[in-house]
Chain A
């Protein structure tokens, strides 16, 4: 078995959200931290798609940004094709590494500079990495990229506001593909799009994956979309991974109580009216996470151990679960 393309070990990111120094001194407030990502580990095989799902505040978007280098990790290690992406590395190597991974963002309206033409937007990575130096070759390369995502080569002269949301997202994809990366991090790429447009974009992404052997990290809160695109699924809650499993396994036999609750809660057009267990509670404030297992206040199977000891992500019958009750065989 070949080595995985992406390896993440004990990744963590803590944000300091304390009040300004003066306020803290005058009002005697303590420093406050948010552990947006709290020890996350996973691997992604070449050519596969790992989806990270979870609700707001679970840290999935932060993980995406940690992987592409928009944030520096507080601790932990990210390895791409065996090489660490630590900032301490040689700058030239790091740059070459970064060329091989790119990102697609959620908001099609904010992810393209409104004052730049499409030619400049999609051509920027080509220019930056020296892949196309004169205007003619730039124009040609950009035209080819646009054709690959289903737009016309003549669109290079247009501005983003002349396109619809779905078309803008395709321009984003074209930009991400410019440096011919192997790994794409997609942060909710279709959440802001209408359903029929979403279908277009998802189909394009799947086609591109097949034709280019791309590896995806797909962030989403929409389990139905995840089921359509992913090979493996990781469920996050309050900055931790609670379950990682192959798609079929996760959707047919979810283990972690949170995963079960999520799957039960989704309104689905083909499966309406089914019996469900009612959902309890809400996602806790990340400034004040529960002790032990983060899910225990909402969990119908929690016991004393759950409120004091944090469960580790360990393998159980072929899936990775972080749950005492599952590991003890109680559920």
Chain B
């Protein structure tokens, strides 16, 4: 159907060594992103979504480390590269956008200097052409009077403008993949909408794929093609956005979608999931969601489910496993 995926994450495990033992923060994550696709990674705090993004960019700091698994970019492994090679890939092939635009830019350099530095590091162009490209990038991201503002410092820009500059920086070297970690969370609602549509448009124009990490389902609904729902360091459900939102199979996804107040419904009470996500040192045996699941079976408490096909999506739930399905069909 499709050409080979741009990014593949296979059986990724990330651990943290603490004095109280080793904590497994990501447990067997499997996902893939096709070229030009926008994949959303959604989950609540502690689910491991930022860690997934960090693992792909190669920014996991000790005591965290990638314990096992593979991350492949265009078929080549990038999780085990030495620092220098990873640095070359970061920026050229993978661009990053982080949550806080204030700390993403160096306050001591003009944005022009920061843009041209990135461009010249990764593309074989001279200083003059780099500057021209930088101005064009700023214009593309909607910054007015780009030729004058290119020589201004980050503190002279507002929050939304800074995030546009950060997007320009991320796209400067024409990467194939952009990892965006909560890019709109720190921004006002009206600016969020602008930034989201900007990101979508530019990535489509450049043909870059995006991995969008966020806790905001609304943003995912507006932006992404596919979405992966993370729970306690594992993938609970993954599939096309419309199907995951309107037709979820995993009980956690069902609960999550039901607990989000929406603009076009009138409900007296929101659906609530009792309890909370388990801490890393207290993940239950079997399926991590079993203590909170309304449809829990004995098997869920013993064995951990893999991702099974469930209609248009794939869910890690025994309820949709082939054996249960066949029982249903036969009954």
Contacts and interface: CB of A to CB of B under 8 A. Distances in A.
A124 B312 CA distance: 54
B255 A196 contact: yes
A262 B194 CA distance: 12
Interface in A159-180: 164-167
A326 interface: no
Q: Among the interface residues A261, A262, A265, which one has the most CB atoms of the partner chain B within 10 A? A: A265
Contact of B218 (A198, A202, A268, A282): A268
A271 B188 contact: no
A239 B10 CA distance: 51
Contacts, number: 124
Contacts of A264: 193
B259 interface: yes
B262 A224 contact: yes
Interface string A265-301: 1111111110010110011000000000000000000
B222 interface: yes
Given A55-B190, A195-B217, A265-B192, A271 B262 contact: yes
A203 interface: yes
A203 B218 contact: no
B190 A279 contact: yes
Contacts of B257: 269
Contact of A195 (B191, B193, B194, B259): B259
B198 to A, nearest CB: 11
Nearest to A166: B276
B330 interface: no
A267 B44 contact: no
Interface string B183-210: 0000011111110110000000000000
A206 interface: yes
Contact of A268 (B45, B262, B273, B274): B262
A126 B78 CA distance: 59
B245 A282 contact: no
B261 A267 contact: no
Given A223-B263, A224-B262, A267-B219, A202 B189 contact: no
User: Among the interface residues B158, B218, B257, which one has the most CB atoms of the partner chain A within 10 A?
Assistant: B218
Given A164-B276, A198-B259, A224-B261, A267 B191 contact: no
A315 interface: no
Contacts of B131: none
For chain B, the bracket of interface size reads: 35 or more
B189 A265 contact: yes
Interface in B33-52: 44-45
Contacts of A203: 269-270, 272
Contact of B190 (A202, A224, A251, A262): A262
A206 B222 contact: no
Given A166-B276, A196-B272, A198-B259, A267 B222 contact: yes
A325 B106 CA distance: 44
B256 interface: yes
Contacts of A196: 44, 255-256, 259, 272-273
Interface in A165-214: 165-167, 194-200, 202-203, 206
A165 to B, nearest CB: 8
A141 interface: no
Nearest to B191: A282
Contact of B221 (A202, A265, A272): A272
A221 interface: yes
Nearest to B216: A267
A228 interface: yes
Nearest to B277: A194
Contact of A56 (B188, B267, B269): B188
A227 interface: yes
A282 B194 CA distance: 10
Given A196-B272, A203-B270, A268-B221, A251 B259 contact: no
B61 interface: no
Contact of A228 (B158, B189, B220, B261): B261
A197 B271 contact: no
B264 interface: yes
B2 to A, nearest CB: 23
A225 interface: yes
A143 B219 CA distance: 40
Contact of B264 (A267, A268, A283): A268
A227 to B, nearest CB: 6
A112 B229 CA distance: 32
B322 to A, nearest CB: 29
B216 A283 contact: no
B270 A202 contact: yes
B90 interface: no
5 contacts: A194-B277, A196-B44, A197-B276, A269-B221, A282-B190
Given A164-B276, A227-B261, A271-B263, 5 more contacts: A195-B44, A196-B44, A265-B193, A267-B216, A279-B193
Question: Which 4 residue pairs of A and B lie closest in terms of their CB atoms, listed nearest first?
Answer: A199-B259, A267-B218, A194-B44, A265-B193
